[in-house]
Amino acid sequence: MGALFIRDARLGLRAGGGALVGILFFLAVIAVVPFGVGPDLKLLARIGAAMLWIGALLATLLGLDRLFQADREDGSLDILIMASERHMLALTVLVKCLAHWTVSVLPLVIAAPLLGLFMNMEPVAIGATTLTLLIGTPAITLIGAVGAAVAVSLPRGGLLVSVIVLPLTIPVLIFGVSASYGAIEDPAPFLAPLLILGAITLFFAVIGPWAAAAALKSSAD
């Protein structure tokens, strides 16, 4: 499992792995926002947390279709599925998700404070948003694993994965953004949405790999 993690992380970091493209996409989305809504600093500060979340969500979805497809193309996916007699396939999927998250989503979280400065956000808000992103984005990757596994046998599944996964990620977005706002606005609670966000991540850490493993098995034949 450790070897699989390192292998996936290396493949992701290598040129063409798409980890860097994700950050660039995130940067581009955030840079486009002021052009769309106008350079009003107060307005940007108010919508900043939501924009960071939406940008991170889209950037995470972007790389998802490669989660299993590259392995399917070179045949290593079949080997992983055949090894399910020794390791539970769901565990393999979980490790792959973790590797994918570390390589292509964690940089987004790290880049978020910098982009938060662009959006003229307060330091507290930046910290809160980064924290919610850190807790919430694994859920997006785990939900996305289901979508990626379901669409793995399709030749051009990229767009379909996003269409399938996006509705399911809406709760993550709702609680992530409301926790970020809870940190700056007084009456809104901060801890409650954050805990729910953690619960969602843990919930999908169980459901996601299991469902993705079932889908991979059925598409392997």
Q: Which residues bind another protein (CB under 8 A)?
A: 143, 146-147, 149-151, 153-154, 157, 160, 163-164, 166-168, 170-171, 207, 211, 214-215, 218-219
If the CB atoms of residues 83 and 163 are measured against another protein, the closer one turns out to be 163
Work out how close the CB of 191 gets to another protein at its nearest, in angstroms, rounded to a whole number: 17
Name the residue nearer to another protein (CB basis): 112 or 149: 149
Residue 195 or 214 having the CB closest to another protein: 214
Name which of 98 and 146 has its Cβ closer to another protein: 146
Smallest distance, Å, CB 167 to another protein?
Answer: 4
- To another protein, the closest distance from the beta carbon of 174 in angstroms equals 8
Instruction: Tell me how far, at minimum, the Cβ of 78 lies from another protein, in Å.
Output: 16
Place of tokens 């399709």: 154
- Supply the minimum distance, in Å, between the C-beta of residue 123 and another protein: 29
CA distance linking residue 106 with residue 99, whole number of Å: 10
DSSP H helical segments within the chain, as ranges? 2-13, 19-37, 41-62, 66-73, 76-82, 89-100, 106-118, 123-150, 158-184, 191-220
Nearer to another protein, 165 or 194 (CB): 165
What burial letters (b/e) apply to 3-14, b meaning 16+ CB within 10 Å? ebeeebbebbee
Can you say how many angstroms the Cα of residue 62 is from the centroid of all Cα atoms in its chain?
Answer: 9
Nearest CB to another protein, comparing residues 26 and 68: 68
Contact yes or no for 188/125 (Cβ under 8 A): no
Q: How far apart are CA 164 and CA 52, in angstroms?
A: 22
> Smallest distance, Å, CB 84 to another protein?
16
Q: Is 18 left (phi over 0), alpha (psi -120 to 50) or beta?
A: left
Residue-level length of the chain: 221
